[in-house]
């Protein structure tokens, strides 16, 4: 029997060429150093023409080293007229089918331009493919790449811890909560081909739309992918705010334009959005009660806020423990706490920012570290 194929697909605009290069070369590196994985591998980089134009020599070097560079034609249009990343993903599906890279023996491992893999990632993929128990797998993402200890990077600690909740919920019937990644997911190609990425107009969170469609068509199709993926957080609070704005617009898009969304799941998504919106009023009530010295307000809300604050603190603490082995830049605990408060404030403001600004399909979050920035990104613990 022929070996299954895993296609490592990096889908991006392409304007962060150094980050994309690092991601592709991490796959090349660990494929050479991890024998007997039990699958054949291909690497695709799917980019927009304007992204390719930023560093054609870099993309040519990747092609020479075995990476297939797929440039999405500017004239390409899907039947439903989708745009943004979903358009590039749909084009990649069509190219795979045309090249006969499809079927139950072909898997697609999705990466963002900054998704670096390790040997643990490849071993987890090999295990999932060999088991072939579920057609979609997702795992935990860590954010140690180019770590600086900034507030926007500290905030990402909670995302890794929250992945534990997401994975638990995702594997339950109906996925009773919200959350899904567009990277570090492994999809059997015949499932991806059947569902597709095409939507009417711009889908700010194409990964959530994809998850909803897969669940509607295939039911409990999701499993846990062993091994981490390694990414990087936004370099500034402004970029963090824009990223979170896109997430909220993605949830609102799904609530309005996803006919496959069941009533139960729609309620769960709506509740998740409402909870996020409620964060800012709760902070304002807390500030007002302290300023006005009106204690009864705190007594009345402590039943709920106590749980929330403990949950937040646990997220940072456990997220720190997950990352401590992978980052080298040492920061003090006081800076860790200060950065957490500042990063959390940005997340609190983000859904309201989404209400007053339109989603932008041209949102570009820099992930290439400035060349003049030579600070170490990673061998010592995260904090003293």
Express each pLDDT in 283-332 by its tens digit.
887 777 777 666 665 655 555 555 666 777 888 989 988 998 998 777 88
The CATH number of 1-363+370-384, from 3.90.550.10, 3.40.50.880, 3.30.70.1050, 3.30.465.10, is 3.90.550.10
**Which contiguous run of DSSP H or E holds residue 81?**
none
- Asked if residue 375 lies in contact with residue 329, where contact means CB atoms within 8 angstroms, the answer is yes
- Asked if residue 276 lies in contact with residue 248, where contact means CB atoms within 8 angstroms, the answer is yes
- Asked if residue 197 lies in contact with residue 111, where contact means CB atoms within 8 angstroms, the answer is no
The answer to whether the pTM exceeds 0.85 is: yes
Helices (H), 135-262: 151-170, 189-195, 206-218, 237-257
Residues 64 and 61: their CA atoms lie apart, in Å, by 5
**Alpha carbon of residue 25 to chain centroid:** 20
Give the model's pLDDT for residue 364: 73
67-71 and 141-142 as β-strands: parallel, antiparallel, unpaired?
A: unpaired
In sequence order, the 6+-apart residues with CB closer than 8 A to the CB of 248 are 273, 276, 350, 351, 354
For residue range 94-126, list pLDDT tens digits in order: 999 999 999 999 999 999 999 999 999 999 999
* Residue 194 Cα distances to 20, 102, 104, 271, angstroms: 28, 11, 12, 30
For residue range 201-219, list pLDDT tens digits in order: 888 889 999 999 999 999 8
Mean pLDDT of 151-167: 93
Q: Which two tokens stand for residue 337?
A: 């706490």
Mean pLDDT of 368-374: 65
Closest CA to 209 of 248, 261, 152: 261
Mean pLDDT of 15-32: 97
Residues 194 and 259: their CA atoms lie apart, in Å, by 17
Task: Look at residue 379 and tell me whether its pLDDT is greater than 70.
Answer: no
Radius of gyration in angstroms for the set of CA atoms belonging to the chain, rounded to a whole number: 21
Task: Look at residue 185 and tell me whether its pLDDT is greater than 90.
Answer: yes
For residue range 236-257, list pLDDT tens digits in order: 999 999 999 999 999 999 998 8
Torsion of CA 63, 69, 75, 76, to 10 degrees: 160
236: how many CB neighbours lie within 10 A of its CB? 15
Give the model's pLDDT for residue 300: 58
Give the model's pLDDT for residue 381: 38
Residues 243 and 234: their CA atoms lie apart, in Å, by 8
Mean pLDDT of 155-183: 86
For residue range 257-279, list pLDDT tens digits in order: 888 888 888 998 998 899 899 88
Domain map of the chain by residue range?
1-363+370-384
Looking at the chain, how many residues does it have? 384
For residue range 352-363, list pLDDT tens digits in order: 999 999 876 656
Closest CA to 120 of 143, 101, 141: 141
Burial of 121 (0-12, 13-18, 19+ CB in 10 A): buried
For 116-144, the DSSP string reads B--HHHHHHHHHHHHH---SEEE--EE--
Mean pLDDT of 181-205: 94
Helices H / strands E in the chain, number of each: 12, 9
Residues 145 and 132: their CA atoms lie apart, in Å, by 31
CA angle 14, 366, 114 (to 5 degrees): 60
Q: What are phi and psi of 223, to 5 degrees?
A: -130, 170
Q: Name the β-bridge partners of 108.
A: 7, 187
Closest CA to 13 of 319, 364, 277: 364
Q: What are phi and psi of 34, to 5 degrees?
A: -130, 90
Task: Look at residue 66 and tell me whether its pLDDT is greater than 70.
Answer: yes
Give the model's pLDDT for residue 262: 84
The conformation of residue 13, written as its DSSP 8-state character, comes to -
Residues 272 and 363: their CA atoms lie apart, in Å, by 24
């Amino acid at each position: 029997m022929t070996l299954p194929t895993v296609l490592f697909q990096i889908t991006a605009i392409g304007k962060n060429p150094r980050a994309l290069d690092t991601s592709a070369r991490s796959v090349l590196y660990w494929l050479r150093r991890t024998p007997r994985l039990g699958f054949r591998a291909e690497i695709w980089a799917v980019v927009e023409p304007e992204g390719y134009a930023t560093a054609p020599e870099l993309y040519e070097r990747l092609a020479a080293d075995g990476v297939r560079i797929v440039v999405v034609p500017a004239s390409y249009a899907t039947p439903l007229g989708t745009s943004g990343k979903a358009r590039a993903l749909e084009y990649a599906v069509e190219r795979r089918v045309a090249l006969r890279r499809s079927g139950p023996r072909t898997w697609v491992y999705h990466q963002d331009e900054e998704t670096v893999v390790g040997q643990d990632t490849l071993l987890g993929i090999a295990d999932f493919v060999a088991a072939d128990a579920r057609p979609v797998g997702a795992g935990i993402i860590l954010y140690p790449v180019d770590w600086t200890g900034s507030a926007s990077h500290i905030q990402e600690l909670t995302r890794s811890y929250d992945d534990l909740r997401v994975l638990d919920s995702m594997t339950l019937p109906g996925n009773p909560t919200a959350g899904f990644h567009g990277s570090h997911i492994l999809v059997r190609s015949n499932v991806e081909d059947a569902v597709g990425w095409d939507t009417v107009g711009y889908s700010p969170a194409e990964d959530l739309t994809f998850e909803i469609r897969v669940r509607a068509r295939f039911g409990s199709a999701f499993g846990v992918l062993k091994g981490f993926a390694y990414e990087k957080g936004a370099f500034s609070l402004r970029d963090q705010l824009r990223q979170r704005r896109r997430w909220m617009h993605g949830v609102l898009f799904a609530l309005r334009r996803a006919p496959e969304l069941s009533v139960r799941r729609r309620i769960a998504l709506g509740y998740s959005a409402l909870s996020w919106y409620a964060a800012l009023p709760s902070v304002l009530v807390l500030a007002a009660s302290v300023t006005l010295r009106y204690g009864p307000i705190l007594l009345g809300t402590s039943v709920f806020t106590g749980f929330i604050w403990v949950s937040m603190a646990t997220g940072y603490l456990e997220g720190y423990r997950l990352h401590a082995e992978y980052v080298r830049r040492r920061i003090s605990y006081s800076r860790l706490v200060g950065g957490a408060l500042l990063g959390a404030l940005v997340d609190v403001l983000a859904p309201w920012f989404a209400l007053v600004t339109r989603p932008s399909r041209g949102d570009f979050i820099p992930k290439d570290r400035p060349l003049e920035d030579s600070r170490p990104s990673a061998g010592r613990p995260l904090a003293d």
